[in-house]
Amino acid sequence: MHWRMFDALFRKGSTRALFVAAVVCVFVVDAAVAADRSAPIVGLGDYPNRFIELTIPFAPGGGVDLFGRTVAQLLTDQKLVTKPIQVVNRAGAGGSVGMALMVRRKGDPYSLLGIAIHAIVTPLTLGTPHSYKDMTPIAKVFSEYQMLVVATQSPIKTLKDVETALRKDPASLSIGGASLGNADHITVAKFARAIGVDPAKINYIPYSGGESNPAIIGGHVDVGMGGLDLISQVEAGRMRVLAISSPKRLAGAFQKLPTFVEQGYDVVNENWRGLFGPPEMPLPVVQYWRNALTQMVQSPAWKAELEKNQWVNTFEADTFRTSLDHENQIYTALLKQLGLLKQ
């Protein structure tokens, strides 16, 4: 594609135009090595007979990148995979560039994608063409949960206080968290729906990165929603936890912190990390990776990573696709109610 065509796309500024331009850029580079990657697989006895490429559809340094690099290192260090796993970052359009690449590599046994809930949410909120449905789910490896918090000095003492205020006036409390449609936002929406409040009427204030933390601590928002990493703020005495979105109490530093469920609210939300292959990935290859990951998640080294990174073991393989379908139905309904559904 000529540079003037790219320029025209970017000047239009639409999400779909930016997605197309980014995907074309990746495909041009990908074509250079397509001949090697498209070599036919001999048999599972010879697999793998060369390096595996693990695509992370986000920039280096983020949560999905950490997941991918940790899994790649442990699989090779423990000799569960006998060939190198090369982690390649291909960021763009909320993970859509990476998903489009997987779809293009149909049947390729040497390509993997590490991604999170974006495989469901991005196509729903941005209208991009590919989702988990277009790839081969291999396994959900672990999950992170959300915590509803307030500043230590906040007059809000309990989750019941939040419910009372929102029932009286859904916009009476400002709730800060990550971007619209993110796991933080969805957890807030689930809570609103559980107490009979229209999620679209909640005064949800999105922040990027960790910008919500000083807003919560400084009282610029009434309530905050964030990941388990907020435990450091809790332990430092800057925040109090009202509820965690896990189905049951977590261990370690979280064992004294209540869940939504135990307080009588049907609210569970997880932000998982998982591995996918291209469409029509050979079934013996899918099973190879599931077996390797099953052994990895049972290892002391992996359990140490879970504890260090505040990840929760929710490993599933054979039932992963069924779980995705169920989650997709829930997210579709919630995003539609929030006015964020683009398809």
> So where are the chain's domains?
3-143+271-337, 145-269
Fold of 3-143+271-337: D-Maltodextrin-Binding Protein; domain 2 (3.40.190)
pLDDT at 208: 78
Distance CA(21)–CA(14), nearest Å, equals 11
pLDDT at 211: 86
pLDDT at 28: 45
Q: Which residues contact 316 (CB under 8 A, 6 or more apart)?
A: 139, 140, 323
Fold of 145-269: D-Maltodextrin-Binding Protein; domain 2 (3.40.190)
The pairing of strands 136-151 and 270-277 is: antiparallel
Distance of CA 100 to the CA centre of its chain: 17
Instruction: Confirm whether 3-143+271-337 and 145-269 share one CATH topology.
Output: yes
Distance CA(259)–CA(241), nearest Å, equals 10
Distance CA(169)–CA(273), nearest Å, equals 36
Distance CA(334)–CA(184), nearest Å, equals 13
Both ends of the chain: CA-CA distance in Å? 28
Strands (E), 152-222: 174-177, 203-206
Distance CA(248)–CA(257), nearest Å, equals 10
CB of 225 closer than 8 Å to CB of 148: yes
pLDDT at 30: 55
CB of 134 closer than 8 Å to CB of 238: no
Distance CA(334)–CA(339), nearest Å, equals 9
CB of 144 closer than 8 Å to CB of 97: no
pLDDT at 46: 85
Provide the residue-wise pLDDT of the chain in tens; the chain has 343 residues.
333 333 343 344 554 554 454 454 444 445 444 444 444 444 577 899 999 999 999 999 889 999 999 999 999 999 999 999 999 999 988 899 999 999 999 999 999 999 999 999 999 999 999 999 999 999 999 999 999 999 999 999 999 999 999 999 999 999 999 889 999 999 999 999 999 999 999 999 999 767 889 999 999 999 999 999 999 999 999 999 999 999 999 988 999 999 999 999 999 999 999 999 999 999 999 999 999 999 999 999 999 999 999 999 999 999 999 999 999 999 999 999 999 998 6
The residue written with tokens 């974006």 in the block is 118
